Amino acid sequence: MTWSGRYDQLFIGGAWVSPTSSEKIAVVSPATEEVIASVPSSSHEDMNRAVAAARDAFDRGPWPRLPLEDRVAVLERFRAIYALQRETFAELITSEMGCPITLSRTIQATTPLMVLDTFLEVVREYPFSAIRRSANGAALVTREPVGVVAAIVPWNVPQSIIMQKLVPALLAGCTMVIKPAPETPLDAYLLAELLQEAGLPSGVVNIIPADREVSESLVTHPGVDKVSFTGSTLAGRRIASLCGQNLKRVTLELGGKSAAIILDDADLEMTVESLRFASLRNSGQVCSLKTRLVVSRHREQELLERLAALVASMPVGDPQDPATQIGPMVSERQRGNIERYIEAGIAEGARAVVGGRPRDSALGWYVEPTIFADVRPDMSIAQEEIFGPVLSVIPYVSVEEAISIANDSIYGLNGAVFTSDLDHGLSVASKLRTGTVELNGSPAGLRAPMGGFKASGIGREAGPEGIDPYVEIRSIGLPSGFATVLEDRASAVTDRKADVV
């Protein structure tokens, strides 16, 4: 296909329609500070139209009533079309939010496909229906689509996060309104065209950008059954309170201040190289990054020296340059927030081993990567999410103290343990109050659930647990003989599928 690049309309009810408002959202390049496009800023009326389209598609349309195999077929067509546009997605997202282009080709354009592929595998094993027998009855337990889903996505890895919500929701039979971040709406426009080309029925997915006020009306809209949000903990608290007023289903994937415990027997060369991705990818703008590095006092200096060398090996510059590893921050406001944290760290007594100064650049919202030493666990730079290329090295005396430091956080999204003794590392990992722990930098993979303890969120995404938020569970009591009939039918279907394979 040839992408139209249209930005003056909204995708509602399976068609491109004119907005009711003349208000615009400017998309600004974080590298050049130039406006590269503008999209409509949706009005309350536009939001009502989008929800009405999704509501009608759910209540009266074919999508929730199709056999799972038919929904899978549409998403497989979508997958084939999407794969042809990977470079376009990478270039768009780099232009929108400054992710270095080489990295964009993986986390921004290839990872979404991997998410899609994994859900297409997982859904074939998902228990949409099952017979359960007990001493006092038998039931058909089914998982039904939850309804209309409002998906609110952030700017840092927009396509990967959209896929974490879009694919399981569609496979479950839901319909959706997707609200992209104002910083990164352009890739969502391309997504809409691909869904349209794949033959998704009208109204099943609607995509409209909006400001905060109109976005809040999406969360509270009576036509929305479920809200799935990824973003800051502050915004998540607001959304949770709004959903709680009407007992609306909600999934929240929020902030993090993840710790990496570096045990004495860790291979520091391997550890530090893994931190290139684990702590500094996407210029530090990822919620799961390990930004607190907890190391024993007698290995602290060696770690600091190796971290300084790591940062020196990561070119900062134009995100369109394939050599760049650290690009600009997404916005001027984000850069200002990070610089204020750096100033606060120095004011509280931390020592900037690398960086710590405003970056001298004529254009672009760049921050000098900063490594702090002499960090106490109670400092703001050790407690609050910075969302930039700023790392804090925190020393410990005993492993018990290291675990205590790692758990001393309102967050619990991610973490890591580095060691040569994997059994010991697993024991330490099991004591961390966090949703994911990576042993020696090993990723958990897309079949494993992702999400957080404490203020890092509610619910899980990815794996079979990633489908759970998009279903409601229903039990139908059955006469014993009829339960047997249904079991025999299910067994016959399974046998036929096995014969085909």
Question: What 3-state class would DSSP assign to 391?
Answer: strand
Query: Binning pLDDT at 50, 70 and 90, where does residue 422 land?
Result: very high
Q: Tokens at residue 250, please? A: 């909600």
pTM: predicted TM-score of the whole model, two decimal places: 0.95
Strand partners, 416: 260, 438
Specify the pLDDT at position 492.
Answer: 78
Domain borders along the chain are 10-254+456-472, 258-446
The pLDDT-based confidence of 480 (bands split at 50, 70, 90) is: confident
User: What average pLDDT does the segment 176-185 reach?
Assistant: 97
The per-residue pLDDT for 497 is: 63
Count of CA atoms in the C-beta half-sphere (13 A) of 459: 24
Q: Which CATH number describes the domain made up of 10-254+456-472?
A: 3.40.605.10
On average, the pLDDT of the chain sits at 95
> For 321-349, what is the mean pLDDT?
97
On the question of pLDDT at 498 being above 80, the answer is: no
Per-residue model confidence (pLDDT) at position 344: 97
The answer, yes or no, to whether residue 314 has pLDDT greater than 90, is yes
The pLDDT value recorded for residue 2 is 45
Superfamily of domain 258-446: Aldehyde Dehydrogenase; Chain A, domain 2 (3.40.309.10)
174 is catalytic: no
Contact 402, 396 (CB under 8 A): yes
Q: What SS3 class is residue 29?
A: coil
Q: Which of 96, 193, 253, 300 is catalytic?
A: 253
pLDDT of residue 251: 98
What is the Cα–Cα distance from 90 to 433, expressed in whole angstroms? 34
User: Do residues 3 and 194 touch, judged by C-beta distance below 8 A?
Assistant: no
Pairing of strands 471-478, 137-145: antiparallel
Sequence-distant (6+) residues with CB within 8 A of 234 are none
Specify whether the CB–CB gap between 376 and 389 falls below 8 A. Answer: no
51-109: per-residue pLDDT in tens?
Answer: 999 999 999 999 999 999 999 999 999 999 999 999 999 999 999 999 999 999 999 99
pLDDT in tens, 218-233: 999 999 999 999 999 9
In the three-class reduction of DSSP (H, G, I as helix; E, B as strand; rest coil), residue 11 is classed as: strand
> Catalytic one among 96, 287, 368, 438?
287
Q: Is 400 a catalytic residue?
A: no
d(CA 81, CA 85): 7
pLDDT higher than threshold 60 for residue 45:
yes
Q: In the prediction, which pLDDT does 496 show?
A: 64
